[in-house]
Amino acid sequence: MPAERLSGLDASFLYLEKPGVHMHVAGLSIFGPREDGSRLTYDDVERVVEARLRLAPRLRRKLLAVPGNISRPLWVDDEHFDIDFHCRRSSVPSPGGRFELERAVGRVLSRPLDRTKPLWELYVFEDLSEDRTAILLKLHHAMADGIGGMMIASALFDLNPEAPLGASEDGWKPEPAPDQQELIVDAVGDVMLHPIQGLSHAVRQPRILAETLAATADALRTVAGMGTPPRGPFDGRVGPNRRFATAERPFARFRTIKHELGGTVNDVVLSAVAGGLNALLEARGEKTKGRTLRAMVPVSVRSPGETGDIGNRVAPVFVDVPVGRMAARTRLRRVRAATARMKDSGMAVGADTIIGLGAYAPPALHATAARLVAQARWCNLEVSNVPAPQVPLYMAGAPLQANYPGMNLKEDCGLSIGCTSAAGTMAFGLTADWDLVPDIDVLARGIEAAIDDLVALTKG
C-alpha cells in the first residue's frame, strides 16, 4: 500500500501530545458467553485480528517523519509488524466486576503509545464475572476519530455468530517506505500544490467560497458571543494518570424519550450528562443554582463519499448545559434550546473550515498554532456521541453486549465523556484525570439516574 500523508487534523493530534496529555482514544467491548456457554478467549481474539487485518490496513502502518519537518508525516507499512506486540493478554482481580475492570482500563489509558510502531494496542481481559470477556482497543487519535475507530473495530465484528474468520494474509508484504529524496520531493510538492489547488477551487466556485466564509464568520461570532467558559470543577492541569468509569442503559429508552419528549438522541445524551454533573456537584457540596458548564461536542462533518475514510472528520461545537437542580423535563427543554442555537449558527461548518486551513501550513507553524489553540480555555468538558449499528454483533461467536468509548483529555480539562449505542446498549465511557475527578463513579451513577428520570416521564 503506497505511503499516505496525514491530514491537517490527524497531524494536529500528534503535535498536541505531551507526556501528561495522551492523544489516544479507545473502545472497551464487553462480550457475553457463546450459546454453548463457552467464553471468548485471548486465542480466539488473536485469530480474529490476524484474519481481519486485511480489512483495516492502517493497523499495519506506522508513522514516518519528513526530513526537516517540511511537511506532515506519512503512514507507511511497518516492515517489522508483529501482531504479538499489539495483542496483549491481561487480567483483573477477583471478583472481576465493573470496578475492577474500570481500574484496569484506567491504567492502560494512562500509558502512551509507542510511536515507533503502528499506533494501536489491543488488550483481552478473560477473567470477568458471568463468563464475560472484555476487549480494549486503544489507538492514537491521529489514526482515526470516533467513527473511524468504530469502522476499525467493525472489521473484527460479525453479524452472524457462525460467520467464518476468513483467510489470513500469510503472503502480506510491506510496501517499501519512500527514500529520503522521495520524501523531500513529495513534501515540497505537497506544500506548494495545496494552496494552488485551494485557490483554483475558490475561483471555480465563488458562490461556495462566499457561503463558507459567511458560515465561518457566523461561527466565530457565535463562539465570541458565548463569552469565556465558566469556571468548572474539572479545570486544572491534567497529568498522565487516568480514571475510567462506565454507565449504560438500553438504547431503546433513548428513542422513547426522543419520540415522546422531543429533541434528538444527542439532546437526551447531553441532558443525562447534565443531570449526572448536578449529582456530582451536589455530592461535592458545590453551589449549582443557575449554573451551566460548557461542553465541547464533536460533530461529524463526513460527506456521504467519505464513508470508507477512517481519518478524522470532526469539528467542535460548544453547548452550555444546565447543571442546576431542576426537573428532568426542564433540563431536557433547556438543552434542546441550547443545541438548536448551535445548529442555527453553523458553528460546525465554520470550525471545519478553520481546521482545514492546517493542511496549508508548514508543520512547524501548524504545530505551534495547534498548541496555542489547545492552551486556550474553550470548555469545561467534552461529550461525544459516536453512532453505531443497531444490530447484534459477534466476535468468534460471542455476542457483543456493550462498547464503552475511552476519550483523550485536553491539557486543562480533566473530563471527557463518550457514548455509543452498539448492540442496543447506550454505553457511556467516562475518562478523567486521576486527581481532578476522584469521585468519577458518582458521576456515572448520576448519568444513569438522570436517564431513569426522563424515562419516568414517558409512557414506555
Active site residues: 141
In the structure grid, which three cell numbers stand for residue 365, read together? 507553524
Cα dihedral 387, 389, 390, 396 sign:
negative
Residue 242, phi-psi category: left (phi > 0), alpha (psi -120 to 50), beta (remainder): beta
Question: Residue 108: which region, alpha, beta or left (left: phi > 0; alpha: psi -120 to 50)?
Answer: alpha
What is the DSSP secondary structure assignment for residue 297, as one 8-state letter?
Answer: E
Q: How far apart are CA 269 and CA 163, in angstroms?
A: 34
Q: Could you give the CA distance from residue 375 to residue 378 in angstroms, rounded to a whole number?
A: 9
159 Cβ contact list (under 8 Å, min separation 6):
391, 392, 393, 394
Distance CA 460, CA 440 (A): 30
CA distance 32 to 37: 9
Contacts of 249 by beta carbon, 8 Å cutoff, 6+ apart: 425, 426, 448, 451, 452
Sign, Cα dihedral of 330, 333, 339, 342 = negative
Phi, psi of 431 (to 5 degrees): -115, 130
Which residues have a Cβ under 8 Å from the Cβ of 193 and sit 6 or more positions away?
Answer: none
Q: Are 455 and 431 in contact (CB under 8 A)?
A: no
CA distance 423 to 388: 8
The residue type at 303: S
Task: Give the DSSP letter string of 389-432.
Answer: --S--EETTEEEEEEEEE---BTTB-EEEEEE-GGGEEEEEEEE
Whether 133 contacts 19, CB under 8 Å: no
All three cell numbers of 53? 487485518
C-alpha cell at 293: 458548564
Instruction: Return the closest-CA partner of residue 165 out of 151, 155, 153, 152.
Output: 155
| Residue closest to 446 by CA, chosen among 191, 313, 273 | 273
